[in-house]
């Protein structure tokens, strides 16, 4: 049955809902509950349980709850000589690595042993303590059970390996991931435990295949060794690993990686000495490659003789590899993640540089810059009211105190002491910061002084944001001189209240083209570029009267004083298709947009996505919804289809990833492609042609030869758009001046005298790099407008003399008070209930504006109770108990896609006999096997660090099932994953060309590509040339401990990595055809730049991902 959605919306009344939500979701009883009389912690080494801590407990219980998919443990320490809080620990069933249940004959007792992938979620319950009962229950750190009551605030710099007061903590939750519970039982109780574990085994979850219940457990029975202690409630650490490695003359880069293996539970501290000695004879560059390769192994894989065997294999594999080369404009960046109980090291990844790192390039190469992020054990830190109240009662302990301590006192990384440097707006959003290891004249103050003069800034938050500008990822273009720079006044109206040229200046076409070349963009003559230069940020639009390196800068672009004149480019203007998202649809539907037309377009795109495999040859069409996605893939999809390779396993799974991505974006984000629309960078009308309410917009949707000027009524908005006034109607015009001085793939805004500039009405936008969505589809226009919101920011808190302690306190305050996502989520729910023009929604829109400004104003936002939803529309994916079926257009769209999209990879590898039947020289096969081994190691490292599957990386999409964590994965795909894979692919192609040049064959790279295919897909050749060392034969392909949740890919089934031969996909296609496949191809040297300007259209719903 068809519905007229316009009529439905006009007649819609808020759904009938209960006045109060249920106080608590009905709790399902646990599958079992035991009361241990003894609790122990330690590590498993082979068949030995190394018991590091044990205690007899008077009151303790542990239960398994299938409804909550978790295991909960609680114990008191009544016999401790100190007033310790109660320990409460929760872990997800997905975090189980092994489970063993062993009954002890004749004693009616049993032992349950759990090994986890990562530490559980710890809470300290202070309610029974005499000295801190007002703290209640809060997130815990190891120091909450310190033997001398040391707390995070006074502990000094922490370290990856125990140092200072952390040595004395008796329970090292970050290192000891095996828990043992001894308990007595009745026949009924033990039966419930066994039944629950058997049920757990049937869930087909990671680790459930390693559940051992008697009698199966007997062959796996663990021998126990107990570390002797003088005091059971005081820890010790006989292994000073930092000192041991320094004494062994291990360089910092090797120490960092080796200790990183410990931090991620891949090796135990007691195994370091053995591995250190085995690696010492290996050349330094090979040693580093081996250590990087070890990160892809499964936990506890390096035990005893296996360590030597694995290292020998890797040494042989890596002997031909060279030191990792970093392309110009990029750096090798180390990243550390701090959780409540761990400090995790991750192998360095290749990223785009910034001007600070370029100025201190020697120190950067020496590893003296590092990025530190703060996360919970299972993801982003979620600061609850319980945490805030506990910190107010005792700010010296707990999670936030741990973060504050590191910011103020630094952190030890592989024996080096790193101190806080800066944290800008981007770092705040990621809960991260920059830190440096000082050495002589190289100090944090010296770096900050070189960055510029921030002394005139009186707002702490803005001071931090200004410093953060220096760390924007840019490509260096040219060093300007003073004569190149001219000052222009800003255009202000309405008593100078509104700036019509906020953040935009001018440059020559020649300089804009140089910027595009520096980025590797295919836009040879962009009309605008987003730049950073010293203390200047903003956009330079092309002006025909400027030449060479001439630029015009406006006061609104100058953020702080800096003597540096190096011009760095972030983006160049280009055409990107327009998309709607949930926020925009919510407002546009309320303002009269034709909902029937939107539903029709939505259904059409669902059909295109579901029929993707049948429409492969149509992917080149400019209006196909999958075009912008498939262009991001690392394999030439259309060329492979034309060459008859459609049944190849990698291509099949890449297409499944793309299909899943499209359907998930449609269902969960309502991301609807608008063919008659564009997503463009905004600039100012420098010619004073446009009247109020007019724009100029010329686009090239199909390339340089397809230029068209948009004319007539358009709907325009900027994401995020929450207030109903954020979506406006404008008139797009043409004018002879713009024909003579063409500006293309930008939206030009009027600067003529008016009450207010248009960008500021669009969600408080400006022209320093904001992108705007312009829709000229007549069926998707709004029919009325709402008064725009006043985006005047709240008055910030000023401080006369700002120091780094103030900045550090602000970082902690931001993490504590970051509610932007919650405000947006609440608004979406209430807008569905009452409509976006309701007073409650308008109040939330104001709060959202203040939350957006929080990183610059320093004024935190608090959400009052009356702005918290009682029920949520079904399209928000909340629990059924608090959800209702939305009667608005977003609800109708959400329910169009059932069941929920799920990635189900193909398993069967279809081998192309046209390729495998060819006879290839042995030298080519041997070299291809060696190179594939190294490729697998590096790709596995990227997969592990970012929790991605091979097909996801090759497809250039993230298909994680957990919608709350999609933004982080999407950002990784467009950022560090792209950087790392681009560089890696280029390097392997270069090595292959060098080998072919030294060992010429009749068909050159085609013969090489066939050799790579054969050693990947032919079992006999793979066994001979690859399998002895193949990184994909062991370990996990998508396991991360960097604070991200991996959803259903916590431990993926082991599969052979198969993408290696497709680095030469075009050569394989040519080998199957007499003629060259005609498709848009790029030279190998350009592959490392192919994504630099991709993904601009994804910025329009960046805030949507927070919901």
3-state secondary structure 273-337: HHHHHHHCCCCHHHHHHHHHHHCCCCCCCCCCHHHHHHHHHHHHHHCCCCCCCCCCCEEEEEEEE
Check residues 293 and 884 and name the one with the higher pLDDT.
Answer: 884
Q: State residue 183 phi and psi, 5-degree precision.
A: -145, 155
Tokens, residue 866: 């009356």
> Is the confidence at residue 988, as pLDDT, over 50?
yes
Are the C-beta atoms of 1049 and 604 separated by less than 8 Å? Answer: no
**Cα–Cα nearest to 721, from 847, 829, 585, 832:** 585
Which residues are within 8 A (CB) of 245 and not within 5 positions of it... i.e. 6 or more apart? 254, 255, 258, 259, 272, 276, 414, 415
Residue 217 per-residue DSSP state: T
Among 64-68, 206-210, 872-876, the range of highest mean pLDDT: 872-876
| Among the ranges given (5-19, 203-217, 976-990, 1008-1022), the one the predictor scored with the smallest mean pLDDT | 5-19
- 32-120+173-226, CATH topology level: PH-domain like (2.30.29)
What pLDDT is recorded for position 161?
87
Tokens standing for residue 403? 């973060």
Query: What's the confidence (pLDDT) of residue 433?
Result: 95
Q: Would you say how long the chain is, in residues? A: 1107
CA nearest 175: which of 347, 341, 303, 54? 341
pLDDT value, residue 303: 53
User: Residue 499: beta bridge partners?
Assistant: 492
Residue with the larger pLDDT of the pair 23 and 109: 109
- Among 61-70, 92-101, 719-728, the range of highest mean pLDDT: 719-728
Average pLDDT over residues 672-690: 94
* Residue 1094, both tokens: 């991709």
For position 1029, what pLDDT does the model report?
A: 47
DSSP3 helix / strand / coil % (the chain, rounded to 5): 40, 20, 40
With residue 182 as reference, give the H or E element that holds it.
strand 178-184
Whether residue 804 is predicted with pLDDT greater than 90 in this model: the reply is: yes
Most confident of 161-165, 207-211, 745-749: 745-749
Instruction: Please name which of 953, 1007, 985, 939 lies closest in space to residue 1083, comparing C-alpha atoms.
Output: 985
Q: Where are the beta strands (DSSP E) in 910-1053?
A: none
Task: Specify the pLDDT at position 481.
Answer: 92
* pLDDT given at position 765: 93
pLDDT of residue 286: 83
Q: What percent of the chain has pLDDT over 90?
A: 44
Asked whether the predicted pLDDT for residue 1086 surpasses 50, the reply is no
pLDDT at position 288 over 90: no
Q: What pLDDT is attached to residue 82?
A: 74
Q: Is the dihedral of CA 877, 880, 882, 885 positive or negative?
A: positive
Share of the chain above pLDDT 70, in %: 83
Contact 542, 556 (CB under 8 A): no
**In the chain, what is the straight-line distance between the N-terminal and C-terminal CA atoms, in Å?**
31
Q: Higher confidence at residue 1046 or residue 825?
A: 825
What's the half-sphere exposure (Cβ side, CA atoms, 13 Å) at 252? 16
- pLDDT band of residue 1039 (cuts 50, 70, 90) is very low
Q: What are the pLDDT digits (tens) for 750-787?
A: 999 888 999 999 999 999 999 999 999 999 999 999 99
User: How far is Cα 102 from Cα 222, in angstroms, rounded to an integer?
Assistant: 10
Residue 622 pLDDT class (50, 70, 90 cuts): low
Report the pLDDT value the prediction gives residue 218, as an integer from 0 to 100.
Answer: 43
Across 216-277, where does the E strand assignment appear?
A: 223-226
pLDDT digits (tens, 9 = 90+) for 690-725: 999 999 999 998 878 788 999 999 999 999 999 999
Tell me: pLDDT of 291 over 90. no
| Per-residue confidence (pLDDT) for residue 683, from 0 to 100 | 96
CA-based nearest residue to 732, from 779, 695, 765, 768: 695
**Integer Cα distance of 241 and 270 in angstroms:** 9
- The predicted model scores a pTM of 0.86
pLDDT(670) > 70: yes
From CA 808, how far away is CA 796, in angstroms rounded? 17
Arithmetic mean of pLDDT, 5-14: 40
pLDDT of residue 391: 80
* Confidence tier at 965 by pLDDT (50, 70, 90): low
236 vs 55, 63, 157, 1025, CA distance in Å?
16, 31, 18, 47
Helices (H), 452-508: 460-469
Confidence at 1101, pLDDT banded by 50, 70, 90: very low
- The span from the CA of 1075 to the CA of 1064, in Å, is 16
Q: Which residues contact 956 (CB under 8 A, 6 or more apart)?
A: 629, 632, 633, 634, 973, 978, 1091
**Domain boundaries defined on the chain:** 32-120+173-226, 241-323, 475-571, 913-1106
CB atoms within 10 A of CB 785: 15
pLDDT bin (cut points 50, 70, 90) of residue 1034 is: very low
Q: Quick one: pLDDT band at residue 335, thresholds 50, 70, 90?
A: very high
Confidence label for 1097 from pLDDT (cuts 50, 70 and 90)? very low
Whether the predicted pLDDT of 23 surpasses 60: no
Closest CA to 969 of 905, 1045, 902, 1035: 1045
- Position 8 scores a pLDDT of 39
Confidence of residue 532 (pLDDT cuts 50, 70, 90): very high
Residues 319-326, mean pLDDT to the nearest whole number? 66
List all residues 6 or more positions away from 333 whose beta carbon is below 8 Å from its beta carbon: 348, 349, 350, 351, 369, 370, 371
What pLDDT was estimated at residue 1089? 40
Mean pLDDT of the chain, nearest integer: 83
Residue of 928 and 129 predicted with greater confidence: 928
Which of 418, 412, 382, 417 is CA-nearest to residue 400? 382
Is the predicted pLDDT of residue 287 greater than 70, yes or no? Answer: yes
List the structure tokens of 797. Answer: 């808190």
The phi, psi pair for 471, rounded to 5°, reads: -100, 10
pLDDT digits (tens, 9 = 90+) for 471-498: 999 999 999 999 999 999 999 998 888 9
pLDDT tops 50 at residue 1045: no
| Beta carbons within 10 angstroms of residue 778's beta carbon | 12
Tell whether the model's pLDDT for residue 1076 goes beyond 70.
no
């Amino acid at each position: 049955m068809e519905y007229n959605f316009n009529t439905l919306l006009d007649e819609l009344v808020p759904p009938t809902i209960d006045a109060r939500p249920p106080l608590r979701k009905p709790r399902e009883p646990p599958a079992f509950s035991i009361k241990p009389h003894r609790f122990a912690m330690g590590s498993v080494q082979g068949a030995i349980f190394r018991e590091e801590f044990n205690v007899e407990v008077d009151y303790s219980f542990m239960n398994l709850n299938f409804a909550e998919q978790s295991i909960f443990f609680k114990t008191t320490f009544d016999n401790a000589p100190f007033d310790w809080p109660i320990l409460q620990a929760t872990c997800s069933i997905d975090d189980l690595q092994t489970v063993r249940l062993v009954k002890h004959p004749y004693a009616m007792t049993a032992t349950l042993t759990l090994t986890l992938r990562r530490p559980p979620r710890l809470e300290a319950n202070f309610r029974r303590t005499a000295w801190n009962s007002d703290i209640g229950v809060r997130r815990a750190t190891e120091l909450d059970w310190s033997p001398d009551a040391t707390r995070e605030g006074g502990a000094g710099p922490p370290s990856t390996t125990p140092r200072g007061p952390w040595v004395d903590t008796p329970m090292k939750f970050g290192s000891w991931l095996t828990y043992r519970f001894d308990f007595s039982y009745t026949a009924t109780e033990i039966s419930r435990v066994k039944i629950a574990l058997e049920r757990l085994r049937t869930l087909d979850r990671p680790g459930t295949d390693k559940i051992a219940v008697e009698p199966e457990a007997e062959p796996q029975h663990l021998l126990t060794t107990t570390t002797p202690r003088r005091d059971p409630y005081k820890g010790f650490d006989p292994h000073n690993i930092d000192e041991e490695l320094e004494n062994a003359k291990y360089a910092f880069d090797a120490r960092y990686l080796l200790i990183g293996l410990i931090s991620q539970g891949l090796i135990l501290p007691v195994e370091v000495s053995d591995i250190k000695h085995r690696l010492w004879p290996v050349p330094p560059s090979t040693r580093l490659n081996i250590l990087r390769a070890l990160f892809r192994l499964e936990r506890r894989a390096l035990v005893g003789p296996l360590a030597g065997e694995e290292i020998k294999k890797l040494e042989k594999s890596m002997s031909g590899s060279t030191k990792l080369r970093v392309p110009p404009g990029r750096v090798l960046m180390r990243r550390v993640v701090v959780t409540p109980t761990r400090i995790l090291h991750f192998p360095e990844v290749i990223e785009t540089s910034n001007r600070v790192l370029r100025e201190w390039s020697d120190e950067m190469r020496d590893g003296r810059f590092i990025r530190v992020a703060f996360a919970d054990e299972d993801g982003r830190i979620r600061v609850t009211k319980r945490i805030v109240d506990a910190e107010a009662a005792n700010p010296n302990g707990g999670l936030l105190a741990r973060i504050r301590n590191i910011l103020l006192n630094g952190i030890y990384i592989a024996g080096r002491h790193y101190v806080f440097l800066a944290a800008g707006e981007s770092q705040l959003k990621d809960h991260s910061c920059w830190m440096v290891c000082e050495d002589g004249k190289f100090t944090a103050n010296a770096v900050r002084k070189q960055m510029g003069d921030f002394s005139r800034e009186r707002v702490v938050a803005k001071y931090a944001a200004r410093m953060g500008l220096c760390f924007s990822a840019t490509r260096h273009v040219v060093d300007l001189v003073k004569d190149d720079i001219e000052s222009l006044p800003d255009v202000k109206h309405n008593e100078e209240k509104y700036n019509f040229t906020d953040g935009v200046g001018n440059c020559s076409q020649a300089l804009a083209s140089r910027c595009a070349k520096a980025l590797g963009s295919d836009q040879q003559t962009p009309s605008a570029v987003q730049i950073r230069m010293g203390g200047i940020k903003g956009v330079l639009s092309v002006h025909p009267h400027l030449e060479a390196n001439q630029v015009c800068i406006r006061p609104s672009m100058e953020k702080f004083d800096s003597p540096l004149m190096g011009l760095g480019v972030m983006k160049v203007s280009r055409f990107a298709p327009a998309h709607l998202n949930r926020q925009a649809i919510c407002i546009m539907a309320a303002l009269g947009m034709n909902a029937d037309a939107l539903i029709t377009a939505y259904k059409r795109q669902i059909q295109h996505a579901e029929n993707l495999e049948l429409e492969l040859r149509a992917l080149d069409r400019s209006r196909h919804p999958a075009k912008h996605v498939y262009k991001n893939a690392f394999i030439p999809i259309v060329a492979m289809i034309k060459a008859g390779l459609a049944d190849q396993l990698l291509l099949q799974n890449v297409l499944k990833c793309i299909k899943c991505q499209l359907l998930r974006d449609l269902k969960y984000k309502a991301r609807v492609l608008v063919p008659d629309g564009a997503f463009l960078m905004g600039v100012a009308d420098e010619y004073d042609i446009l009247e109020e309410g007019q724009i100029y917009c010329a686009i090239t949707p199909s390339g340089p030869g397809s230029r068209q000027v948009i004319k007539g009524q358009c709907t325009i908005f900027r994401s995020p758009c929450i207030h109903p006034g954020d979506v406006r109607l404008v008139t797009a015009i043409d004018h002879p001046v713009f024909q003579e001085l063409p500006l293309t793939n930008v939206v030009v805004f009027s600067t003529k005298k008016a009450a207010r500039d248009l960008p500021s009405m669009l969600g408080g936008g400006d022209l320093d790099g904001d992108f705007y969505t312009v829709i000229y589809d007549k069926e998707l226009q709004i029919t009325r407008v709402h008064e725009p919101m006043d985006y005047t920011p709240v008055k910030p808190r000023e401080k006369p003399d700002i120091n780094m302690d103030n900045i550090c306190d602000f970082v902690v305050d931001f993490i504590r008070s970051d509610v932007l996502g919650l405000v947006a989520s609440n608004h979406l729910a209430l807008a569905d209930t009452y409509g976006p023009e309701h007073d409650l929604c308008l109040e939330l829109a104001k709060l959202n504006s203040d939350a957006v400004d929080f990183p610059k104003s320093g004024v935190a936002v608090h959400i009052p109770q009356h702005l918290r939803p009682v029920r949520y529309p079904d399209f928000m994916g909340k629990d059924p108990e608090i959800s209702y079926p939305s009667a608005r257009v977003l609800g109708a769209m959400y329910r169009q896609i059932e069941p929920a999209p799920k990635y189900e990879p193909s398993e069967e590898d279809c081998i192309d006999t046209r390729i495998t039947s060819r006879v290839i020289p042995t030298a080519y096969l041997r070299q291809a096997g060696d190179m594939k081994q190294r490729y697998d190691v590096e790709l596995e490292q990227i997969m592990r660090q970012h929790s991605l599957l091979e097909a996801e990386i090759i497809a250039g999409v993230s298909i994680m099932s957990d919608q709350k964590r999609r933004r982080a994965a999407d950002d990784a795909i467009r950022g560090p994953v792209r950087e790392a894979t681009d560089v890696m692919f280029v390097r392997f192609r270069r090595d292959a060309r060098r080998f072919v040049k030294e060992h010429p064959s009749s068909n050159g790279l085609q013969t090489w590509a066939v050799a790579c295919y054969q050693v990947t897909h032919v079992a006999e050749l793979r066994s001979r040339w690859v399998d002895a060392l193949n990184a994909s034969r062991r370990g996990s392909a998508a396991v991360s401990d960097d604070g991200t949740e991996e959803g259903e890919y916590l431990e993926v089934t082991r599969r052979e990595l198969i993408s290696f031969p497709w680095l030469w996909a075009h050569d394989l296609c040519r080998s199957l055809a007499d003629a060259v496949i005609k498709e848009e191809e790029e030279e190998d040297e350009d592959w490392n730049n192919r994504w630099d300007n991709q993904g601009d259209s994804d910025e329009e719903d960046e805030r949507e991902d927070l919901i």
